[in-house]
Amino acid sequence: MEQAKTHLNRAHGILMAAVTGEGQLPPLETRRVIARLLIEAEEWHNALDVLNSILADNEEDAEIWYLTAFCQFSSKNRKETQEALTTMAKVMEKHKIDDPEIAAAAKELESKLENLGEEDEEMEGSDDGFETCSDEDDEDA
């Protein structure tokens, strides 16, 4: 697996050099495959770089928006996850895309995102037995 990651990261480097103008970008489908492989290798940030390069050429690709949301979620970026899911839904509606697989995956991701939000609320409201300390308390010490 490490050798595969090494080759994927090399491909990512070449692709990012092309994005900055140091070469010709590979076709969209090649970048799509590289992004999926990076996701499989859990290389979230590199996958996001590749996905963003695709979105720069085509903002109307619902699958790429879903993959972007998935990477953002895996990177613990909740706001960006929600934004990508919202954009994906708008693209699907605009182009009347009926893809049950992507819709189901997006719904599952939204559910996970909501559950994380509920867990945060529970943590904020929990009484853990510790007293909070104000700045005034610090000055008294």
Global confidence as pTM: 0.81
Those residues with Cβ within 8 angstroms of residue 22's Cβ, 6 or more apart along the chain or in another chain: none
- Predicted local confidence at residue 20, as pLDDT: 84
**In the Cβ-directed half-sphere of 61, how many Cα atoms lie within 13 Å?**
17
Closest CA to 1 of 37, 29, 34: 37
Q: What is the pLDDT of residues 7-63, one digit of tens each?
A: 998 999 988 898 888 778 899 999 999 999 999 999 999 999 999 999 999 999 999
Distance CA 35, CA 52 (A): 10
Q: What is the pLDDT of residues 65-115, one digit of tens each?
A: 999 999 999 999 999 999 999 999 999 999 999 999 999 999 999 999 999
